[in-house]
Amino acid sequence: MATIFSDIGNFLRRQSVLSSLLIINVLVFLLIQLVSLFFFLFKLSPDPFFEFFQLPASPVQLLHRPWTVFTYMFTHFDVWHIVFNLLCLYWFGQIFLRFFGPKQLGGLYVLGGIVGGLFFILSYNIFPYFLESVNTSSLIGASASAMAIIFAAAFYRKDLKINIILLGNVKLLYIALLFLVIDLLSIEHDNPGGHIAHIGGAWMGIGFAQAAIKGRDLTEGINSIIDRMANWFAKKPRKTTRQQVYRRPETDYEYNKRKHDEQVEIDRILDKIKRSGYNSLSKNEKKKLFDASK
């Protein structure tokens, strides 16, 4: 047990996207607990403060609190809720990073949360069962984001097996599908909005995996927005260090994307030869064709 906590501690001390996501969730949780204690001691209602973080099911309320589309996916009120979500994010996030880069992890975390939130809002405004509670329902938690990461890894490498105590090697795909079945069966019971959001996150993860297999990165757009925001908030450019210059080996996703882009370029050059002949190629195009022939 001590070794496990030591490993987690060492991991959190690294400056990585995954450790940053875990730390942000923990800091938000601690802030909420401290403020909740303050309101409790002074016999005040904490609801207005809590609403600042929660994603409302009501579109009208959402117009007044649009930032909750992002804040809700970092918000937890219950200890066991945050423990379960962050353990899933910690374990499955590391599996995801075997095949994709840290930027894809961060981007998919946000996209999974957004899509899960949209599934939640749409369900509460479409299905008659939820209409009576649409003005009093809200969503919190990183579950949809974690589901996106789990399903992305599972559907990108459907043959991948992980070792589970007492069960041995089990395909990650089967674990992901088990989570999905549990969510589907639980909608009629406790926390239906949360389970619907999980399904939205899973759907986003599958879409990311299918696009990645074809050489496309669905997180490029959101990562571009995040980069602009980071640059806008940055006071000064960070100095380049040796550690930042070091280039890590390509992930499976990056390798497949590079090969896909190279093949598209070669196909374009071959089409140009068919139309206009070899002499119509530029010096750079001839070099690319020569390199590909090797």
pLDDT digits (tens, 9 = 90+) for 87-105: 999 999 999 999 999 999 9
| 88 and 211 assigned to the same domain | yes
- In the chain, the number of structural domains is 2
pLDDT of residue 241: 47
The whole-number average pLDDT for the span 59-86 is: 96
| 161 and 282 assigned to the same domain | no
| 210 and 259 assigned to the same domain | no
pLDDT range class, residue 242, cuts 50, 70, 90: very low
Chain centre to alpha carbon of residue 244? 23
In the predicted structure, residue 260 carries a pLDDT above the cut 80? no
| 76 and 187 assigned to the same domain | yes
Q: Exposed e or buried b for every residue in 47-83, given b needs 16+ CB within 10 A?
A: eeebeebbbbbbeebbeebeebbebbbbbbbeeebbe
CATH code: domain of residue 50: 1.20.1540.10
Note whether residue 243 is domain-resident. Answer: no
Which structural domain, as residue segments, surrounds residue 154? 11-233
| 140 and 17 assigned to the same domain | yes
pLDDT of residue 86: 96
| 147 and 19 assigned to the same domain | yes
pLDDT of residue 229: 83
**Across the chain, what does the average pLDDT equal?**
87
Note whether residue 4 is domain-resident. Answer: no
pTM of the full structure? 0.78
Note whether residue 20 is domain-resident. Answer: yes
| 20 and 57 assigned to the same domain | yes
| 228 and 264 assigned to the same domain | no
> Which residues touch 226 (CB under 8 Å, ≥6 apart)?
106, 107, 110
pLDDT digits (tens, 9 = 90+) for 133-157: 999 999 999 999 999 999 999 999 9
- Who wins on pLDDT, 162 or 147? 147
Proportion of the chain above pLDDT 70, given as a percent:
86
pLDDT of residue 3: 60
Q: What is the DSSP string of 75-142?
A: ---SHHHHHHHHHHHHHHHHHHTTTS-HHHHHHHHHHHHHHHHHHHHHHHHHSHHHHTTTTT-EE--S
The whole-number average pLDDT for the span 209-213 is: 95
The whole-number average pLDDT for the span 57-83 is: 96
Among all chains, which residue has been given the structure tokens 């400056």?
15
Where is 164: in which H helix or E strand?
strand 161-164
| 226 and 261 assigned to the same domain | no
- Who wins on pLDDT, 26 or 289? 26
| 134 and 177 assigned to the same domain | yes
pLDDT of residue 75: 97
Note whether residue 239 is domain-resident. Answer: no
| 179 and 216 assigned to the same domain | yes
Q: What token pair was written down for 212?
A: 């990645």
pLDDT of residue 252: 63
Domain ends where: 208, 233, 258? 233
pLDDT range class, residue 176, cuts 50, 70, 90: very high
Note whether residue 241 is domain-resident. Answer: no
Q: What share of the chain is helix, strand, coil (3-state, %, to 5)?
A: 70, 5, 25
| 127 and 254 assigned to the same domain | no
Note whether residue 240 is domain-resident. Answer: no
